Amino acid sequence: MAFDSFRDFVNALDAAGELIRISQPVATELEITEIADREMKLPGGGKALLFEKPTVNGVVSPFPVAINTLGSHKRMAMSMGAESVDEVANELGALMKAKPPTSFKEAIKLLSLALDLRHAKPKTVKSGSCKDVIQKFDAPASSNSWPPAPDWQKGTNPNPPTLANLPILKCWPLDGGRFITLPCVVTRDPDTGERNLGMYRIQIYDDQTTGMHWQLQKVAARHGRRYYERGERMPVAIFIGGDPMFPFAATAPMPDGLDEFLLAGYLRKKSVELVKCETNDLEVPANADFVIEGYIDPTEPLRDEGPFGDHTGYYTLPEPYPVFHITAITHRKDAVYPATIVGIPPMEDFYIGGASVKLFLPIFKMNFPEIVDIALPAEGVVHKLVFVSI
Ligand SMILES: Cc1cc2nc3c(=O)[nH]c(=O)nc-3n(C[C@H](O)[C@H](O)[C@H](O)COP(=O)(O)O)c2cc1C
């Protein structure tokens, strides 16, 4: 099932009794984390939470914060429009069984064909709700852009948002600052033009610069190295929200070169509609809630990112990463800001990672038929421990 916006998904969760609305003001600095952490620790992952009046430095943000929306088996399945993730995995497995692959490389090719069978290829459209409000930053952002004017929701606000006033969380006391925790990062291979979508946390340095925490082995980091070698500016687009299949696809272990938007389109049973960014040539989903456009300058030195309270339940210490410069922020009029927190397990990422493994199990099984099942126990903090039964 395709959701037209993150708000649509939140409303579906609400109708299914899977959402708690919090109408009191709650601070984006540490308070939302405290409440969300308690909820995520409940048996089965608790409920999704919608903070209707998140505050940034004491001022209520116009954008509600949704958190723990994928944090249970049921909500993960709902995001795919299915009764269970197994159901989706079995369907994908059946599609691929038509012609069993003889190698892992062939399995990947087959996966691409299987995804395509549903006519799930992304398509480019002229415009979309992600551009209801457009703010470009060719000149420095105005310093008086906060608090928002009352006509904000009509998209006519003369001072649309800067990073400083989106309801971005400071998760843990010793974190290096505020972090976007469910960002979908779009990059392109400068040699082949192939696109990648990955989830890499974004630390806010100031109104117009952030960190870019793609670990060395990630696809976007490989793209980045090519831009550094070529000495060319690297365009990057970060989007937040839209269909919940976007953040899921961004975290899924898709092979380098296979488009995550194809997977998202397959899972939501509808092609992803993409629009070109305002200030670079990358494309983002037309129905995203927020889009942050910009670039990385290969001549600029790396900058320390972190510390950050990480998946392990410990802080990762500051390490040098590229700096991302923002050239535009666009958003829907009725945008919802989706977030998550990571930390001492179990957290929401346990359900996201579990769904990924289920989905890709039929592909592993084709190459290793002796595999019966795979589990990522919560204690293994998603990617540090895998049980395989054979
Ligand atoms: C909530 C969450 C946060 C994540 N944060 C990061 C991160 O900061 N850096 C990173 O390299 N990977 C992070 N990951 C893992 C990547 O999203 C994952 O490895 C993904 O497959 C990367 O895509 P790629 O293989 O296309 O690079 C995160 C995953 C989740 C679920």
Q: 218-256 pLDDT, tens per residue?
A: 999 999 999 999 999 999 999 999 999 999 999 998 888
Average pLDDT for 103-126: 80
What is the DSSP code string of 115-165? HHHTT---EE-S--GGGSEEEE-SSPPPTT--SPPGGGGGT--SS---GGG
pLDDT at 152: 38
Which residues are near ligand 1 (CB < 6 Å)? 196, 198-201, 213-215, 218-220, 250-251, 253, 340, 342, 349, 352
Is there a catalytic annotation at residue 138?
Answer: no
Average pLDDT for 204-217: 96
Question: Residue 135: pLDDT above 90?
Answer: yes
Q: What is the mean pLDDT of the chain?
A: 91
Q: 360-388 pLDDT, tens per residue?
A: 898 888 778 899 999 999 988 877 899 99
Determine the distance separating the centroid of ligand 1 and the alpha carbon of 225, expressed in angstroms. 18
> Count of H helices and E strands in the chain?
9, 23
Determine the distance separating the centroid of ligand 1 and the alpha carbon of 375, expressed in angstroms. 19
Global pTM value: 0.93
What is the DSSP code string of 198-235? E---EEEEETTEEE----TTSHHHHHHHHHHHHT--EE
Average pLDDT for 332-346: 96
pLDDT at 155: 43
Q: Which of 40, 215, 251 to mutate to test the pocket of ligand 1 (most atoms within 8 A of CB)?
A: 251
Helix (H, G, I), strand (E, B) or coil at 274: strand
Q: Token pair for residue 335?
A: 């945008």
Determine the distance separating the centroid of ligand 1 and the alpha carbon of 158, expressed in angstroms. 35
Q: 157-171 pLDDT, tens per residue?
A: 445 668 877 999 999
Atom of ligand 1 nearest to the CA of 352: 31
Atom of ligand 1 nearest to the CA of 353: 31
| Residue nearest atom 7 of ligand 1, based on CA coordinates | 200
Q: Which of 218, 246, 262, 382 to mutate to test the pocket of ligand 1 (most atoms within 8 A of CB)?
A: 218
pLDDT at 148: 43
Helix (H, G, I), strand (E, B) or coil at 386: coil
Q: How confident is the model at residue 136 (pLDDT cuts 50, 70, 90)?
A: very high
Check 132, 243, 289, 310 and give the catalytic one.
310
Reference 277, options 187, 358, 174, 213; nearest CA is: 187
Domains of the chain (ranges; CATH) run: 86-389 (2.30.110.10)
Determine the distance separating the centroid of ligand 1 and the alpha carbon of 59, expressed in angstroms. 31
What stretch of H or E contains 13? helix 6-15
Q: Which residue has the higher pLDDT, 147 or 72?
A: 72
| Residue nearest atom 13 of ligand 1, based on CA coordinates | 200
Q: Token pair for residue 17?
A: 């009794």
| Residue nearest atom 29 of ligand 1, based on CA coordinates | 251
What is the DSSP code string of 52-79? EEEEETTEE-SS-EEESTT-SHHHHHHH
Determine the distance separating the centroid of ligand 1 and the alpha carbon of 250, expressed in angstroms. 7
Q: 142-193 pLDDT, tens per residue?
A: 444 443 433 433 344 445 668 877 999 999 999 999 999 999 999 999 999 9
In this structure, is the dihedral angle defined by the CA atoms of residues 35, 39, 40 and 42, taken in order, positive or negative?
positive
Determine the distance separating the centroid of ligand 1 and the alpha carbon of 219, expressed in angstroms. 10
pLDDT at 158: 45
Question: Residue 97: pLDDT above 80?
Answer: no
For residue 43, the 8-state DSSP code is G
pLDDT at 362: 84
Q: How confident is the model at residue 84 (pLDDT cuts 50, 70, 90)?
A: very high
Average pLDDT for 343-356: 95
Q: 258-311 pLDDT, tens per residue?
A: 899 999 999 999 999 999 999 999 999 999 999 999 999 999 999 999 999 999
Average pLDDT for 206-223: 96
Average pLDDT for 36-65: 97
Percent of the chain's residues with pLDDT above 90: 78
